[in-house]
Each structure stands twice: as structure tokens, then as C-alpha cells.
Amino acid sequence: MLALGVFLDEVSNISQNPREPLEIETRPGLFDCFYQFLSWLCLNPQPQPRDVVQRVSRAEKWYIIFRKSLKPTYEHQIDNRIIPKEKANKRSFRRFCRQQHIHFFWILHRATNVQSHERPWGIQTLETEDFLRQWRAHGDIPEHYSSTLDEEMTPDLRLVCRSMGPIQINENYTNFFVTREGYMGLGPTRMRTQDRICLLYGCDVPVVLRWEKFRNVLVGQCYVAGAMFGEAFD
């Protein structure tokens, strides 16, 4: 079968989340060190903060992948002249991170509201407007490119994320992915890195294609923030 469309980008990072939450090693905070010191004074030794293991939700793991992708994606856009080199400065990087931060919000919105048809620039419910306002306010946007990017969610963002409700994964939106140029989305379980995100004429949603045996194989449909309502054709 022959289908016409537009190649959007290639997948560079993917979550491939298990059904159970992820466990990661937490960073010891100031309170942890103070509590450890009090325990030592009371001769009641406690496990070192670095030995404490934290349960991390699926959304928080997605956020870590998203934050890790910011600098490589920004550099890729400069190398490919999507962002002109003469305009690559700290203001440009901050604007880029702010835009990506909002795209990630819509990823979470789709994941927690699988049946929703709200558009980023359309009429939104009061609840969505409130969540978006809080998400913007606690953006943790870096000041310039050399800034150290915290990969974990801040407590404020984590609270907003939990308030949005549980992630409702279905067979189409199992994996969070980031492409080389910075598109973010949710795709099927079978998708891999180097799969291609394409927009086919006559198809309502983007699709994931894989080049196998000299032909494109359909992997499944996907959700791509910023490319669901014709933006990629503008």
C-alpha cells in the first residue's frame, strides 16, 4: 500500500516503562543531613541518605528523560540551523526550555486525560487552566545554557503532577519519547529508538514507522505535543 505524508523526526530517547514505579537513589538534602546529625548525637544511627531508595512515578521518570534531553536537543537545533547560530544565546535557550516545559505539560495532560480533546490554544476547562498556571509558575527554567539542570521534579511540580491524577496508559500511549529535534510524545509499546514519526495525509494522528527490509512498517499511532492539530504543516 502506498501512503503519502511528511517525515517529522526520528526518535532518540524512549522510556519503555514497566508497569510498576521506578526506584532510584535520592540525593541527600539539607534536612536529611540535619536529621542524620541529630541521630548521631542521640547514638541512634540511621541509614545514610544516599542509601535511601525512593519510589518514583512514571511521570517523574518521563520528566527526568525530558530534562536530560534539553541541552542535546538545543545543540541539535543549532547544528541543523533550526535555531540560527547568531541567535543562540541565554535568552534563546531559556525561551526554548520554557516552550519544552509547556509541551511536557500537555504530554502529562494527555496521559491523565486519554479521552480529552482539549487543544493547547483552544478553549480549556477551568481545571486545566489552573494546572497549566501552576505548571508555568513552578517551571524551574534555567537562566542560561551553562546552568546546571536539575533532572528531578521540584516538590511544587510533583504536587501539580499528582493533582492532575493518575496516568491512564493505553496500548497506544505506553511509552514517552523524545525525538532528535525535541518533539515529545506518547507512543505504543513496540516502538524503539530510531523509529520515525510521520504525518500521513488523511490520517487523524501521527504514526510511528520503522524501516525494515527496504520498506516502512507501521508500528502504531502516537501523540506528539505541538504536532497534533496541523502545526507541523504550517
Q: Please report the pLDDT score of residue 6 as a whole number.
A: 86
- As a whole number of angstroms, the distance between CA 67 and CA 176 comes to 13
Asked whether residue 140 carries a pLDDT value surpassing 70, the answer given is yes
C-alpha cell, 61: 521518570
Please write the tens of the pLDDT for every residue from 97-128: 999 999 999 999 989 887 777 777 777 889 99
**What are the strands of the beta sheet with 175-179, ordered from one edge?**
215-221, 207-212, 196-200, 5-14, 175-179, 184-187, 223-224
Cβ atoms of 12 and 180 closer than 8 Å: yes
- As a whole number of angstroms, the distance between CA 86 and CA 32 comes to 45
Q: Please report the pLDDT score of residue 234 as a whole number.
A: 52
Please write the tens of the pLDDT for every residue from 17-29: 444 444 444 445 5
Band (87; pLDDT cuts 50, 70, 90)? confident
- As a whole number of angstroms, the distance between CA 141 and CA 147 comes to 10
Please write the tens of the pLDDT for every residue from 144-174: 777 778 888 999 999 999 999 888 777 778 8
Please write the tens of the pLDDT for every residue from 171-188: 778 899 999 999 999 999
Q: Please report the pLDDT score of residue 35 as a whole number.
A: 53
- As a whole number of angstroms, the distance between CA 219 and CA 198 comes to 11
